[in-house]
Structure 1
Amino acid sequence: MRYFYYVHTGHRIGLDRFHRAVAIVTELQKEIDITLLCSDFRIAAEAKEFGIKRSVGVDLVRNIPQIAHHGDKIIFDSAEINPTLLEDMTQFFSTFIRISDDVSDTKHDKEFLISPYLEGEGICKAVIVNERYYEALPKTIPLSLFYGDDDYEKDLEANQSLFAPLHMDLLMGFYHFLGYDNALKESFKTIYDSESYDEVIRKSDILVSGSPQAVLQNLISGGKPIYLQRVDYTNDFIPLFESLSIPIITELSQEQLMQTINKAISNSYHTFEKSNTKVIEFIRKTFNL
């Protein structure tokens, strides 16, 4: 019997779920041999740089049983789920833990659930962010933008005139195109490559980001995040961010950008309970470790 963590990630959806996976897997691998299954081969190859001991790329979610065996245990971090797949997965794995961000989700009677919204038997209500972001750093970057790890349609280039007057720093994404910074350099004060992710997220006083995980990371680092709701991203995090008093931009316009940044300066943010230990204990109990 083996342990797996499947995470849906890639150049069309970014690394939000992967960052969450890192927070969980790096803790679990201290006591069990667990394999991270990534839907993107590039990040599977890079996973060691994030502290992951064992990772494998998986083309399709339906290919998981080609790697795992019947009776193994898995944590499933993906929105790819549907009733048929959920039924198949809960029958194939002896223990199936799913992570959901959907406020309207419901729990299958044969699964366990981790959610920022739901409560009940077999459910762990929690928000997961890597431990290192709880260590605040001096806010040496007044205003920065992290659009997300992916920008397949080159939205940043198309809308850079909106950001130019704000004199923001820009953090490039993991999946951004080679040389993409050359097309953006006139519109941002400083451009950081993706390897500076941790530094920029933790040192930004005000961070505008389309990445839900980056918003949470900046918040617990003592920053003042603003969530930019991208049209190509799910809006599952809106209720959570509203409960935390995180300003939300729903329309990419210069007027809304300016108004929301001004609001963030004096905004009274709420914080959420640190629950990583709670999540790990829930997984340990569920896996009978």
Structure 2
Amino acid sequence: MHYYYANTSHKLGLERLRRGAALLNRLATKGVETQLLVNDFRAGLVAKELGVSEYVTIEGIQDIDAIAQNGDSIIIDSVEDDHGRLVKYCQDFDTVWRFAHDEEDKAVHSEIVIGLDTVLVDDTYFDEKAEKEEKTLFFLGDADYDKTILSNEDFFKMFDMELLLGNYFFVKYEDDLAKLFSTLHEPEEYEDLIKSSSTVVTASSQTALEAKVAGAKVVYLSLPQRELYTPALLESYGITVIRGLDSDELKAFLQNNVSKDGNCIEKFDEENILIKP
């Protein structure tokens, strides 16, 4: 059994879940037995929307072995402090993979580190038949704990963008956001909108990659504490990166209406990711 633990929260959002679902969905097509572990009930509900039918909720990274058994394999996508638990996992489990925290991250024990440049985009976004609708979609991310949008209302009022709400947005907050955007879309519309929008502006690097694969013109707003992938990696794939909320740069991009050239994002090879020692 392969267990996949994705760390999510109302502060972190769901980026790790989204890329985890991409890998789990692929493994399912190959007949590999998998189980998703999450530390948040809402993440489990969203996982079902992403095609992952079953999940188990645990407290956090230190509780993976409450579910996984000796001889199983685990994949860890988390920035949590494991408080030395990783040592035990490497001893008890057949194989332990974990995603790198930064470019300097190296294996500490016998685990296998999945590189920071490993891009996981679900196969559904490679659908070339999806029709585009001329509109600019804005998706900050699934969480806005610090109320970034509301704190920068002058910036957002300058642009005619439709807002895709995050799964962790509160109802009262949504009411306030309705004053800044022409249209609000529910989180359940995520996949359809990422596929169908001609232009996507986002502070989620996972979303930026998915939108690029789906054929959109993409702007990634690089904001503090939100970077799952490096801006340099996104730029290499032809995604425009704007540092912070720079209205002049965003206005220039939207008026230019030209997609940047870059490397093509290919479908990932799960065998190259889950390498055995």
TM-score higher than 0.5:
yes
Alpha carbons 1:74, 1:95 under 8 Å: kept: yes
The corresponding residue for 1:24 is 23
- Aligned pair 1:53/2:50, yes or no? no
- The answer to whether 1:9 aligns with 2:8 is yes
Q: Which residue does the alignment assign to 2:212? A: 219
Is 1:196 the counterpart of 2:189 in the alignment?
yes
Q: Which runs of structure 2 are paired with 1:126-137 in the superposition (5 Å)?
A: 126-136=118-128, 137=130
Corresponding position: 1:181 with 2:174? yes
Deviation (angstroms), 1:174? 0.8
Q: How does 1:147-158 map to 2 (within 5 A)?
A: 147-158=140-151
Question: Which residue of the partner structure matches residue 90 of structure 1?
Answer: 90
3-state secondary structure, aligned to 2:158: helix
Q: Report the number of matched residues.
A: 275
Alpha-carbon distance in structure 2 between the residues aligned to 1:177 and 1:26: 29
Question: d(CA) in 2 for partners of 1:231 and 1:151?
Answer: 12
**What is the Cα deviation at residue 228 of structure 1?**
0.9
Which of 201, 205, 208 is the matching residue for 2:198? 205
Deviation at 1:142, TM superposition (A): 2.2
Post-superposition shift, 1:273?
4.1
1:115 and 2:115 equivalent? yes
Select between 178-187 and 34-43 the one with higher mean Cα deviation.
178-187
SS in structure 1 of the partner of residue 245 of structure 2: coil
Q: What is the one-letter code of the residue matched to 1:196?
A: E
CA distance in 2, matches of 1:101, 1:16: 14
Q: Which amino acid aligns with 1:211?
A: S
- Checking the alignment, whether the CA contact within 8 Å between 1:9 and 1:17 is kept in structure 2 is yes
Q: Which piece of structure 1 moves more, 233-242 or 127-136?
A: 233-242
C-alpha change, 1:107 and 1:272, in structure 2 (3 Å) is farther
Asked if structure 1 preserves the Cα contact closer than 8 Å seen for 2:38 and 2:56, the reply is yes
Structure 1 CA distance, aligned partners of 2:101 and 2:214?
22
Q: Name the amino acid aligned to 2:13.
A: G
| Stretch of structure 1 that moved more, 178-187 or 202-211 | 178-187
Cα offsets for 1:207-261 (capped at 9, x unmatched)? 1101111100110111111111122323742121122232212121422332343
Shift of 1:18: 0.5
Report the RMSD for the aligned CA atoms in angstroms.
Answer: 2.3
Change (3 A) 1:235 1:73: closer
Pair 1:229 & 2:222 matched: yes
Q: Is the 8 A contact 2:17 2:47 kept in 1?
A: no
What is the CA–CA distance in structure 1 between the aligned matches of 2:107 and 2:264, rounded to whole Å? 23
TM-score (norm 1): 0.86
- For normalisation by structure 2, the TM-score amounts to 0.89
Contact 2:8 2:14 in 1 (8 A): yes
Partner of 1:144: 137
Q: CA deviation at 1:181?
A: 2.6
Matched with 2:106 is 106
Change over 3 Å in CA distance of 1:241–1:11 after alignment to 2: same
**Partner SS for 1:266:** coil
Distance 1:69 1:82 in 2: 18
Distance 1:185 1:246 in 2: 28
1:269-280 aligned at under 5 Å gives the runs 269-276=261-268, 278-280=269-271
Partner residue in 1 for 2:63:
63
What's 1:259 paired with?
252
Provide, for residues 127-163 of structure 1, a one-character-per-residue CA deviation record: whole Å limited to 9, x for no partner.
1100010114222142121011001122212212211
3-state SS in 2 of match to 1:97 = strand
| Runs of 5+ consecutive residues of structure 1 not aligned to the other structure | 118-125
Q: SS of the counterpart of 1:241?
A: helix
Deviation (angstroms), 1:178: 1.5
More displaced stretch, 143-152 vs 63-72: 63-72
Percentage of pairs with the same residue: 29
Shift of 1:200: 1.5
